[in-house]
Structure 1
């Protein structure tokens, strides 16, 4: 199936099958809508394209997944961040889990039967991931995990979690596990962000027993797993996010139509468009690299910097051109403006990304 044919057939199917969300914008309702959309797309086969047969996929290039996510985002069918987590966690499971575990679990994620999260950041170990302290110690045929994770996205709604632990000193002493969130000893405490949503949570592990066959890869593979996971977070996920942001730009242009012709307003809208278009061009190159079987690495830090810049520019423009809309109302513009403040933090801060670009892409050394 060609990409163009896939897109055309998908659009026709979406036109005939109403997956529109309700007006309930609570986090629980949004997650239920994500599950509903994934389930419908999986049962119709669309969600299975671009994934290997070993996890019940229908094959084809990964670009098909990008097209699907773009259509979901532009039609406003599902919250893009939650929907896009499949692009972060499913490839990790396929690459690192035992084949039988991946075959059992990945379809549950793709079909909307489950939500998953990733337990990486800790108090004092956010951008400095290598300093994490949550430990795992062997106990017969099991491992016992003790520690705390912070800023774990959607943990309170998740069935499983990919958790990084320390099993020895240094980068080579980090090991990943695939943990059931209902395991005794796990406590989840939601965190309310400034945009009024429980997006994140603290997760406590108090001598949590995990079977050895839930280890992802081998002992010490956790750092490499994280380095492989993060570029995926900055590839197809960003394609989805960019598509969503373009819909917001279209809405902004519509709402500010009365000011069109005003040189200042036109300049701001043009700058926002240019930032988004630059992100899209860069993201397209990343998608082509992924579709061609290329390895994603530190170059995706460029994508991350461009996303943060474009997202904040768009919502700064909305603040400037929609007087009092953000400051004095509780509508979607206010919520998304506040969320955009995190765009230069989530997925790795812009400062860290620029360091990666300087050191690993431009070979500028450590100074």
Structure 2
């Protein structure tokens, strides 16, 4: 299907079906996410861009970017949790046994389940190579013990793509597993962030048994899996986020605040720059190119644009963020994390300096 035809048909279908969000709480957002995915899956839109082996209807991957863009532009689902399929489903397709992917991927895409990603640990956030959660081979499976943190929506998740150490130190000793979150020995404790939402959680694993067939790829493939996941996070997910931020700029322009054309122009320029960069990344991925350290530039541009947008909202809407409980306040506080999640701004700039500009390690 041509992209233009897909977008036109999708817009017509969305215009004819009321999928408006009902409530702002995290429980409501997760329920809305499932509702929207289920409706789009049943109508076929959620299946485009995915292979037939997991229930998809084929077509170019960019169709998924268009779908997420339309969902974000209409505020039908929070873009961060919507986009989690873009990092988790490709991982299952590439690394899980085909029968397992065929069985479970439609459950995520169709809204029956939510999944999470167990990578970060206390003391091993952006430095995944130092993670200490350990998986030990025992009988016909593995026994996993350790702790994960900043695990998005773990309290709602049925499955988790989990990294654990199966060998010695460094990259080569890391393996990946697909773990059922209702397994005995798993404890989830939500974390309240400063924007007042329990989006993240700690996950404790105490002698959790994982069947051998839930190893993703081969033993020691965990680092490769994590690196393969990155292109999906830095391409389609960012495209969705930028579409969402454009709606916030439109909302800021519509509230009748005292205009500051220089400040608003700077926000638009940042968002447009991030969008242009993201579009180029999408094209490279669609053409079969592999993405590497250059996507750190995408992350820097997105974080800069997001924080400038909400800083400008704070300046043009005096007291709304500091004194009220409006969505502007919640989103402003969340934007403070834009330079932390997905790799801190300092680490991204170090990657650009060392690996793109060859400036050395100091």
When the two structures are superposed, what TM-score results if normalisation uses the length of structure 1? 0.97
Q: For the Cα contact (< 8 Å) 1:232–1:296, is it kept in 2?
A: no
Q: CA deviation at 1:255?
A: 1.4
In 2: Cα distance, 1:30 partner to 1:115 partner: 12
Q: Quote the residue 2:172 is aligned against.
A: 172
The structure 1 segments of at least 4 consecutive aligned residues displaced by more than 6 Å after TM superposition are none
Q: For the Cα contact (< 8 Å) 1:49–1:59, is it kept in 2?
A: yes
In 2: Cα distance, 1:243 partner to 1:52 partner: 25
Q: CA deviation at 1:359?
A: 2.0
- What do the CA deviations read for 1:120-177 (whole angstroms, capped 9, x no partner)? 1111001111100000000011100000001111100100001100011121000000
**What does 1:232-311 align with in structure 2 at a 5 Å threshold?**
232-257=232-257, 259-260=258-259, 265-311=260-306
Q: CA deviation at 1:293?
A: 2.1
When the two structures are superposed, what TM-score results if normalisation uses the length of structure 2? 0.98
Q: Quote the residue 2:313 is aligned against.
A: 318
Q: Quote the residue 1:87 is aligned against.
A: 86
The number of residues matched between the two structures is 361
Q: Quote the residue 1:4 is aligned against.
A: 4
Q: Does 1:20 align with 2:15?
A: no
Partner of 2:177, secondary structure, is strand
Q: Quote the residue 2:31 is aligned against.
A: 32
Q: CA deviation at 1:202?
A: 0.4
In 2: Cα distance, 1:223 partner to 1:230 partner: 11
Q: Quote the residue 1:67 is aligned against.
A: 66
Q: For the Cα contact (< 8 Å) 1:160–1:179, is it kept in 2?
A: yes
Q: CA deviation at 1:301?
A: 1.1
In 2: Cα distance, 1:226 partner to 1:15 partner: 38
**What does 1:91-102 align with in structure 2 at a 5 Å threshold?**
91-102=90-101
Q: For the Cα contact (< 8 Å) 1:256–1:321, is it kept in 2?
A: no
The 10-residue stretch of structure 1 (292-301 or 123-132) with the greater mean CA deviation from structure 2:
292-301
Q: Quote the residue 1:154 is aligned against.
A: 153
Q: For the Cα contact (< 8 Å) 1:256–1:322, is it kept in 2?
A: no
- What do the CA deviations read for 1:157-207 (whole angstroms, capped 9, x no partner)? 100001100011121000000000000000000000000000100000000
Q: CA deviation at 1:287?
A: 1.1
Q: CA deviation at 1:208?
A: 0.1
Q: Quote the residue 2:221 is aligned against.
A: 221
In 1: Cα distance, 2:52 partner to 2:281 partner: 24
Q: CA deviation at 1:102?
A: 1.1
The 10-residue stretch of structure 1 (230-239 or 8-17) with the greater mean CA deviation from structure 2:
230-239
Partner of 2:205, secondary structure, is strand
Q: Quote the residue 1:327 is aligned against.
A: 322
Q: For the Cα contact (< 8 Å) 1:230–1:347, is it kept in 2?
A: no
- What do the CA deviations read for 1:263-288 (whole angstroms, capped 9, x no partner)? xx111100011110000000001111
In 2: Cα distance, 1:127 partner to 1:229 partner: 14
In 2: Cα distance, 1:175 partner to 1:33 partner: 33
Partner of 1:365, secondary structure, is coil
Q: CA deviation at 1:230?
A: 2.2
In 2: Cα distance, 1:49 partner to 1:314 partner: 32
Q: Quote the residue 1:341 is aligned against.
A: 336
In 2: Cα distance, 1:86 partner to 1:349 partner: 22
Q: CA deviation at 1:254?
A: 1.2
**What does 1:124-135 align with in structure 2 at a 5 Å threshold?**
124-135=123-134
The 10-residue stretch of structure 1 (172-181 or 348-357) with the greater mean CA deviation from structure 2:
348-357
